[in-house]
Amino acid sequence: MEKSYSESYKKAGVDITAGYKAVELMKKHIARTMTEGALSDIGGFGGLFELNIDNIKHPVLVSGTDGVGTKLKIAFMMDKHDTVGIDCVAMCVNDVICCGAKPLFFLDYIAVGKNYPEKIASIVSGVAKGCVQSGAALIGGETAEMPGFYPEQEYDLAGFTVGVVDKEKILNNKSINEGDVIIALPSSGVHSNGFSLVRAVFDIEKADMVSPIEMLNGKSLGETLLTPTKIYVKPMLALFDKVKVKAVSHITGGGFYENIPRSIPKGFGAKIEKKAIKVLPIFDLIKEKGGISERDMFNTFNMGVGMSIVVDKKDADLALKILKENGENAYIIGETVKSDDGVILC
């Protein structure tokens, strides 16, 4: 690659040497994510991973893919790019953990209007942080310079993960009964969903993004909105090891009303106590500023609950104990009931 150079391509807007520099800058971040199964160095045509199935009777691969969405617009405005990579990883690994799967590896895709190597390295540093938090190896990716397609200062970011679970340990919601307990894992903020509405509510292009806001505990709007999505993989794996978990929901776009019913079988609903939910201040501010109805808030945002877990009532105390021992201030928000209404807020 030392001799790879095209003056014509550069005049058209694509500097391949900038791509090589970006790869060199990101290598130190990628190295932090290497796990036992990772076999390939960055820069090859494919990412290699050796699957160890010594303790798995019937391995099932579970895949997930997602992006960061229009939250990236906030990163562009704040010129802060080292946390959105965490969001990208989180959106993928939090999905596969809902099946009971342990993430194995991750690949990212970054499309840019212009390749600024230091910016690319900053983005990848966040991806690497997310991979470390979830125990996934960053074994490959792609950076595409696309002049004329994206503005020079903007980019898109998406990712893909693969996890593994023993077939007999795949979460099975058929065991759900009336009166099972629903446990909440707190979110860190808006996470990576609902930002088209957020941007409209605050008229982001004109908003003050840097001044402290008392309602947000003295943080600025920009800082609060860029808080990265929490990754729940390690506490959930610890929970799976000790407690029979019946269902898990990752509360993303569509909020409570869309996501919780996805993990509950037909004929059952989730009865949620509104007073039990520890709503974060940013959601109060969004509701107040936008004049948004309660129904729309719970049908768009996580409202402070990033993940919900269903366990048998007799296992609830042990589940809470394990989650708290693993850094999650988990708490009970409701129970399963016989109903076809999906989510019942009361």
Going by pLDDT thresholds of 50, 70 and 90, the confidence category of residue 216 is very high
Which pairs from 319-325 meet CB under 8 Å and 24+ separation? Answer: 319/181, 319/183, 319/239, 319/243, 319/245, 320/183, 322/235, 322/238, 322/239, 322/242, 322/243, 323/183, 323/185, 323/235, 323/238, 323/239, 325/238
For residue 163, which amino acid is it? G
The DSSP H or E segment spanning 316 is: helix 316-325
pLDDT tens for each residue of 23-62:
777 778 878 888 887 887 766 778 888 888 888 999 999 9
Does 19 score more than 90 pLDDT? no
d(CA 227, CA 151): 24
**pLDDT the model gives residue 29:** 82
Residue 80 contacts by C-beta under 8 Å, 6 or more apart in sequence? 222, 226
Nearest by Cα to 36 from 104, 89, 85: 104
The whole-angstrom distance between residue 133's C-alpha and the CA centroid of its chain comes to: 11
The count of other CB atoms within 10 Å of the CB of residue 246 is 23
d(CA 114, CA 261): 42
d(CA 343, CA 189): 22
What's the pTM?
A: 0.93
